[in-house]
């Protein structure tokens, strides 16, 4: 299985009135595919945030393969 890192982001208005993207949570997952990793990360996010759907606390999710230490 491949290790993935899922990052959840929320867009908010900053003090200057401009939108800023804020990281809500980072989740590391082992999954066979990127799509599976996204689904697992969304479940873990919901459990951690105690919400029924991930987009109640985040606007988007980015899933990428984790970089292996050299």
pLDDT in tens, 47-70: 999 999 999 999 999 999 998 754
Whether 45 maps to a domain, the answer reads yes
64, 68, 60, 69: which is closest to 24 by C-alpha? 60
Domain that holds residue 38: 2-65
**What CATH number does residue 45 fall under?**
3.10.20
Whether 31 maps to a domain, the answer reads yes
Whether 57 maps to a domain, the answer reads yes
Sign of CA dihedral 37, 35, 45, 51: negative
Say what the pTM is.
Answer: 0.87
pLDDT in tens, 29-46: 999 999 999 999 999 999
Structural domain total, the chain: 1
Whether 70 maps to a domain, the answer reads no
């Amino acid at each position: 299985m491949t290790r993935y890192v899922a990052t959840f982001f929320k867009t908010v208005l900053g003090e200057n009135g401009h939108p800023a993207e804020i990281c809500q949570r980072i989740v590391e997952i082992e999954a066979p595919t990127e799509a599976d990793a996204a689904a697992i990360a969304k479940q873990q996010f919901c459990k951690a945030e105690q919400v029924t759907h991930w987009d109640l606390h985040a606007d988007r999710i980015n899933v990428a393969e984790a970089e292996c230490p050299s």
